[in-house]
């Protein structure tokens, strides 16, 4: 294993192991997603036709909130026990370390959301293809949510406020991903726009947020070194 990969792999495995032992392997994220999705019909009413039409939107909102709110602890935990200091004192560049932590977070939080989507689709009276479409768009979209949320997580560590501040800072940045995610899902269910167009834009957004997120978060952490 090349000297650069070994530390990153160690960091990745540590974060995944921590997520499984402490957070139940993304269980909390999926539980939050389930509760948010189940709450909607109580407000909207048990009308299945209506729920079917806004199903993708509800699932996307639930997944967005679930992945953002679990990001708060991404850096805060390491900051509080002093691990972040040592991580910055290593030959491995901070950007790569952040990318590794984000990948571990996505695997333990984002991916379970995607896997849970078809089951929650049942509550929204979505048939097979609809649920699959939402799941596919979430698969492409959740990495963007993680990497955009990364910036908020890094900033909230530096500002020692965390929590809701993260959501306030980051929610506007996730709007494009939300728009094209829901658009792609609806395109697959209702049309008329072909599924491909919004979906490729969504993938582009993810790639952009991948790069911007990592460097912005690293800068935020370094700037926060007070």
Partner 1 sequence: MPARWAEMRLEGSGLTCVRGGREVFAGLGFSVAGGEALLVTGRNGAGKSSLLRMIAGLVRIAGGQFAVTGVDAEKTIPEQAHYLGHLDALKPSLTVAENLGFWARYLGGGAPPQTALATVGLAALADLPAAYLSAGQRRRLSIARLLAVQRPIWLLDEPTSALDREAQDALAGLMRQHLSGGGLIVAAAHGPIGLERAKELRVGADA
Partner 2 sequence: MALIDLANPTRFLSLARPTLPWLAGLTAAVFAVGLVLTHGAPDDYQQGATVKIMFIHVPSAWLGMFGWTLMSAAALGTLVWRHPLADVAAKAAAPIGAAFTFLCLVTGSLWGRPMWGTYWVWDARLTSVLLLFLMYLGVIALWRTVEDPSRAARAAAILTLVGAINLPIIKWSVDWWNTLHQPASVVKLGGPAIHPTILLPLMVMALAFTLLFLTLHLAAMRNEILRRRVRTLMLMQAQAAPGSGS
Question: Which residues of this chain interact with partner 1, rule CB under 8 A?
Answer: 3, 6-7, 9-11, 14, 17-18, 21-22, 80-83, 85-92, 225-226
Closest distance between partner 2 and the C-beta of residue 135, in Å? 17
Q: Is residue 53 involved in binding partner 2 (CB under 8 A)? A: no
Assigned token pair, 44: 């909207």
User: Distance between CA atoms of 181 and 135, rounded to whole angstroms?
Assistant: 10
Closest distance between partner 2 and the C-beta of residue 122, in Å? 5
Q: 4-13: long-range contacts (C-beta < 8 A, 24 or more apart)?
A: 4/92, 4/96, 7/90, 7/91, 7/92, 8/92, 8/96, 8/97, 8/100, 11/87, 11/92, 11/97, 11/100, 11/101, 11/104, 12/100, 12/103, 12/104
Closest distance between partner 2 and the C-beta of residue 33, in Å? 12
What x-and-dash track marks residues 10-49 binding partner 2 by CB under 8 A? Answer: ------------x-x--xx--x--xx--x--xx---x-x-
How many CB atoms within 10 Å of residue 86? 9
Nearer residue to partner 1 within complex by CB, 3 or 128? 3
User: Distance between CA atoms of 107 and 39, rounded to whole angstroms?
Assistant: 26
Q: Give DSSP secondary structure letters for 91-110.
A: SS-HHHHHHHHHHHHIIIII
- For residue 128, the partner it binds in partner 2, partner 1, none, with Cβ less than 5 to 8 A by kind, is none
> Hey, CA dihedral for 15, 17, 20, 22, is it positive or negative?
negative
Closest distance between partner 2 and the C-beta of residue 64, in Å? 20
Q: Count the residues of the shown chain that bind partner 2, applying the rule CB under 8 A.
A: 16
**Do 152 and 115 contact (CB within 8 A), yes or no?**
no
Nearer residue to partner 2 within complex by CB, 17 or 222? 17
Q: Is residue 123 involved in binding partner 2 (CB under 8 A)? A: yes
Q: Is residue 132 involved in binding partner 2 (CB under 8 A)? A: no
Interacting residues toward partner 2 by CB under 8 A: 22, 24, 27-28, 31, 34-35, 38, 41-42, 46, 48, 51, 122-123, 125
């Amino acid at each position: 294993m090349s000297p650069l990969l070994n530390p990153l792999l160690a960091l990745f495995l540590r974060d995944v192991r921590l997520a499984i032992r402490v957070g139940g392997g993304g269980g909390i994220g999926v539980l939050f997603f389930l509760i948010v999705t189940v709450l909607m019909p109580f407000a909207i009413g048990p009308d299945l036709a209506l729920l079917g039409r806004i199903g993708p939107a509800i699932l996307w909102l639930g997944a967005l909130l679930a992945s953002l709110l679990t990001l708060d602890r991404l850096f805060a935990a390491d900051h509080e026990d002093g691990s972040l200091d040592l991580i910055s004192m290593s030959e491995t560049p901070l950007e790569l370390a952040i990318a590794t932590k984000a990948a571990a977070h996505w695997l333990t939080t984002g991916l379970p959301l995607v896997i849970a989507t078809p089951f929650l689709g049942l509550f929204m009276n979505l048939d097979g293809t609809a649920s699959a479409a939402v799941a596919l768009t979430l698969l492409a979209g959740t990495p963007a949510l993680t990497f955009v949320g990364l910036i908020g997580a890094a900033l909230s560590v530096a500002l020692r406020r965390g929590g809701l501040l993260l959501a306030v800072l980051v929610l506007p940045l996730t709007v494009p991903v939300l728009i094209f995610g829901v658009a792609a899902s609806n395109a697959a269910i209702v049309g008329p726009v072909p599924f491909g167009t919004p979906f490729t834009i969504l993938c582009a957004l993810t790639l952009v947020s991948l790069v911007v997120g990592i460097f912005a978060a690293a800068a935020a952490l370094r700037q926060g070194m007070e």
